[in-house]
Amino acid sequence: MFSHQDEQEWLRREREIDRAVHDGFGTVDRPGSWTEESPFALCQYFLLRLGGRTWLGRKLVPEGRTDPSSVLTPRMLMGEFDGMRFTREKVVFYFTPRPAAEHAAVLARAAKDHEADIDFPFPRLDSDWNEALVPAHVWDGSAELADHLDPDEAHFRAAAAVVLRDVVRPGDTVYDPACSTGRFVSSLGEAFPECRIMASDASAAMVDLARRRIPDAFVADGLGTPVAEESVQVLVLRFLNAEVLSADTAVAGFRSLVRLIAPGGHALVFGHTPVLPAVRHLAAECGLEVRSAVAARPGTEDEVFQFYLLRRPADAASTTSAPAHA
């Protein structure tokens, strides 16, 4: 991925940026630009599409964190997006800042508008501008990793209980093919006790942790076909993300895994790091409906995050073929 020295330099710079943009990324209503020379930071930029307008934002890393949160706040919204230019040495973003109150209102509306979408155009890159992935052994399960991951997904667990409340039925199968510690999918079992909870992970160590909550958790390659096609009413996809998979692998994984969704069933797509596939495009390609794409952190209106709820129409058959290109 990148060296410890590189990581420390990135974090130092992020702290400086966080302090420097406390009052915004430029002068309100005056076109501005922002140059990003660090390939490590490009995955922090996002585009928010809402009501025919596109907004540019950048995740910030405040004191107390060593990585960007999955939650986007009004301070991270830079302004209306006017374009960008990319070279091997830098990316220049063009935008027009708007008043802070308007930025907050935009995020609040996005959480309520089912057509709103958040896109992260860049994966995590290393110093050579190649995709950077967390080494596989990091995901191999430890109490320390569990302690880090579980608290940082509380907003995901709360959002899932809300969006699924009106769509799950007694006896439905809820399946997480990359369950990690099992904390997320077991929370769905607590919210919907009449559902059947299934969980698997490619890491045997993670499955051992998950079995404390889900005794039947099993080891399986989450990118394969770990259960029968069209057998799942709620599919949890929370690993098609930057740093976890390459962009091409994430796209292929999406196309393969959505075949598990039964007619009338749903999928949740989200993660600690940005979702890599262009979900709306792929959902349409695979015959799925996008019911919503943005959720708000519980107790807030203008702190939002990627959280896709997809549905396979009840009268639709699975898309069993996939194009050869992304």
- Residues (pLDDT < 50) of the chain are 1, 318-326
The whole-number pLDDT of residue 325 equals 40
Q: What is the pLDDT of residues 125-141, one digit of tens each?
A: 988 889 999 887 666 65
Spell out the domain ranges in the chain: 4-119, 136-311
Q: DSSP code of 181?
A: T
Supply the angle between the helices 154-163 and 183-191 in degrees, to the nearest 10. 40
Query: Euclidean distance between the first and final Cα of the chain, in Å?
Result: 24
CATH 2.30.30.100 fits 136-311, yes or no: no
Q: Could you tell me how many residues make up the chain?
A: 326
**pLDDT at residue number 315:** 86
Beta-carbon contacts of 268 under 8 Å, excluding residues fewer than 6 positions away, are: 160, 163, 164, 234, 235, 236, 237, 238, 307, 308, 309, 310
Cα–Cα distance measured from residue 319 to residue 326, given in angstroms and rounded to the nearest whole number: 16
Q: What is the pLDDT of residue 326?
A: 38
Query: Is the model's pTM score more than 0.75?
Result: yes
Cα–Cα nearest to 266, from 314, 311, 315 = 311
